[in-house]
């Protein structure tokens, strides 16, 4: 029987196992040297002053928002096209998410809609663009709007490790960037984990405190924190993965370019568009198909052993946890481009080790469906 084409894949090798074993044998499991090493190396690879390892991408977003000073009653601009974890930290700090539509080409936050929504806002505090699917939002335009209105920028870079646009690396423009190391991401830590990056000393210092119960070096709890630490076992695995991620990104770009070459002849399928002067790192390869065909199309691929996904099934602003939240009730906008995408989106298998024959199988199945 032919094997399925898996949607994603996690890499582990002898070096990773050895490094993890060393940590286990050392019994230095938290606040040890592996975390410091991983943070230093991640900061250097991004070209920023500080990297703060935390327990998840969600924690990285939450701590970024708190560290830049977002408070209850503030408004934070978020795209509707994102995983819910972009929005939950905003609500958790008591702020109101203001949903912004996407650019229909790149699927990232539309600066024109952002500008209009900022102009209408009563308490604007921060912009939270998402570098979705591995492609950076237009940070140049977004940081200009932020500067004009004195807003912070926290970039959700959870899907875009080392993507680039206009000479910037994901997460490094603005006040802070947040990364996830959830196992399906472009790099992992062998479990849950995240990283906050920043050039701002004060942001790094506040985040370090909040991740460890708000405690300073003298044992004083100056601010309220919880436990958002990244343990040493995960940090060691992350540090090994970091050595590979740029190569894996290049392999993802190769896979994407093969899909795009082949599928551009299949008229009903819309393939992804890359912004000029950018490197899309293809955490996901999302195509659009006609809405009334989508489920039949996915079933057809499934019957041929090909896994697909939907990222996501519901736009962030349409979830009950947002709609029923007292901070937003009754104020939800329509986001035409986001909602259009969500009627059509299908994610194809994507990972750096996808073989030529697996790519062929996916493309042949798609061609056969639309024949
Ligand atoms: C866009 C986006 N934001 C935030 C997160 C949250 O990351 P984590 O699952 O590590 O908390 C994820 C990952 O799932 C994500 O894809």
pLDDT for position 1: 62
Cα 267 to middle of ligand 1, angstroms: 32
Neighbouring residues of 225: CB distance < 8 A, sequence distance ≥ 6: 209, 210, 211, 212, 213, 214, 215
Which atom of ligand 1 approaches the CA of 180 most closely?
A: 10
pLDDT for position 283: 98
| Cβ(180)–Cβ(54) below 8 Å | no
Ligand 1 binding pocket mutation candidate from 130, 177, 182, 238 (most atoms within 8 A of CB) = 182
For ligand 1, whether the C-beta of 158 sits within 6 Å is yes
Cα 303 to middle of ligand 1, angstroms: 30
What is the distance between the alpha carbons of residues 345 and 269, in angstroms, rounded to a whole number? 10
| Cβ(252)–Cβ(351) below 8 Å | yes
pLDDT in tens, 68-84: 999 999 999 999 999 99
331: pLDDT confidence band, cut at 50, 70 and 90?
A: low
Give me the percent of the chain exceeding a pLDDT of 90: 96
Neighbouring residues of 190: CB distance < 8 A, sequence distance ≥ 6: 12, 16, 20, 183, 233, 234, 237, 238
Query: Does position 205 have pLDDT exceeding 90, yes or no?
Result: yes
Query: Does position 291 have pLDDT exceeding 70, yes or no?
Result: yes
Average pLDDT over residues 83-107: 97
Cα 134 to middle of ligand 1, angstroms: 12
pLDDT in tens, 209-247: 999 999 998 999 989 999 999 999 999 999 999 999 999
For ligand 1, whether the C-beta of 156 sits within 6 Å is yes
Cα torsion angle, 321, 325, 327, 331, sign: positive
333 by Cβ neighbours in 10 Å (0-12 / 13-18 / 19+) ranks as: middle
For ligand 1, whether the C-beta of 85 sits within 6 Å is yes
Query: Does position 328 have pLDDT exceeding 90, yes or no?
Result: no
Ligand 1 binding pocket mutation candidate from 79, 159, 281, 316 (most atoms within 8 A of CB) = 159
332: pLDDT confidence band, cut at 50, 70 and 90?
A: confident
Cα 61 to middle of ligand 1, angstroms: 9
pLDDT for position 286: 98
What is the distance between the alpha carbons of residues 342 and 332, in angstroms, rounded to a whole number? 17
Domain 14-101+108-241 fold: 3.40.640
For ligand 1, whether the C-beta of 130 sits within 6 Å is yes
For ligand 1, whether the C-beta of 86 sits within 6 Å is yes
Which atom of ligand 1 approaches the CA of 59 most closely?
A: 11
Q: Where in the chain are all domains bearing CATH 3.40.640.10? A: 14-101+108-241
Average pLDDT over residues 256-267: 97
For ligand 1, whether the C-beta of 83 sits within 6 Å is yes
The CATH number that domain 245-370 falls under is: 3.90.1150.10
Query: Does position 2 have pLDDT exceeding 90, yes or no?
Result: no
- Token couple for 38: 């991983």
Average pLDDT over residues 304-328: 95
Nearest CA to ligand 1 atom 7: 57
Cα 216 to middle of ligand 1, angstroms: 28
Give me the percent of the chain exceeding a pLDDT of 70: 99
Give me the chain's average pLDDT, please: 97
Terminal C-alpha separation, the chain: 25
Cα 3 to middle of ligand 1, angstroms: 29
Q: Where in the chain are all domains bearing CATH 3.90.1150.10? A: 245-370
pLDDT in tens, 174-191: 999 999 999 999 999 999
For ligand 1, whether the C-beta of 228 sits within 6 Å is no
For ligand 1, whether the C-beta of 168 sits within 6 Å is no
Cα 1 to middle of ligand 1, angstroms: 35
Cα 312 to middle of ligand 1, angstroms: 12
Average pLDDT over residues 271-280: 98
Cα 135 to middle of ligand 1, angstroms: 15
């Amino acid at each position: 029987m032919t094997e399925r084409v898996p949607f994603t894949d996690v890499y582990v090798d002898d070096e990773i196992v050895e490094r993890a074993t060393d940590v286990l044998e050392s019994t230095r499991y938290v606040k040890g040297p592996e975390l410091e090493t991983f943070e230093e190396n991640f900061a250097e690879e991004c070209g920023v002053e500080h990297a703060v390892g935390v327990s998840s991408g969600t924690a990285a977003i939450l701590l970024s928002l708190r560290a830049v000073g977002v408070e209850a009653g503030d408004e934070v601009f978020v795209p509707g096209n994102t995983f819910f974890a972009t929005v939950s930290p905003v609500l958790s700090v008591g702020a109101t998410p203001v949903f912004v539509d996407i650019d229909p080409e790149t699927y990232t936050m539309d600066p024109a809609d952002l500008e209009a929504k900022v102009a209408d806002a009563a308490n604007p505090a921060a912009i939270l663009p998402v570098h979705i699917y591995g492609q950076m939002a237009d940070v140049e335009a977004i940081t200009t709007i932020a500067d004009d209105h004195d807003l912070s920028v926290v970039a959700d870079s959870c899907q875009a490790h080392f993507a680039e646009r206009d000479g910037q690396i994901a997460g490094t423009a603005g006040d802070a960037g947040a990364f996830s190391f959830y196992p399906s991401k472009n790099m992992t830590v062998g479990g849950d984990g995240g990283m906050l990056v920043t050039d701002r000393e004060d942001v790094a210092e506040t985040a370090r405190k909040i991740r460890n119960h708000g405690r300073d070096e003298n044992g004083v709890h100056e601010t309220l924190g919880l436990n958002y630490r990244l343990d040493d076992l995960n940090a060691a695995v992350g540090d090994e993965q970091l050595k590979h991620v740029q190569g894996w990104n290049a392999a993802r770009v190769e896979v994407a370019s093969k899909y795009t070459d082949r599928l551009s002849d299949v008229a009903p399928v819309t393939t992804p568009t890359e912004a000029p002067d950018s490197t899309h790192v293809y955490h996901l390869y999302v195509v659009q198909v006609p809405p009334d065909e989508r489920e039949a199309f996915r079933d057809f691929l499934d019957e041929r052993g090909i896994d697909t996904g939907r990222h996501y099934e519901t736009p962030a602003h349409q979830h009950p946890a947002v709609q029923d939240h007292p901070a937003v009730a009754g104020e939800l906008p329509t986001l035409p481009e986001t909602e259009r995408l969500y009627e059509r989106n299908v994610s194809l298998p994507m990972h750096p080790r996808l073989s030529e024959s697996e790519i062929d199988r996916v493309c042949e199945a798609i061609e056969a469906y639309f024949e």
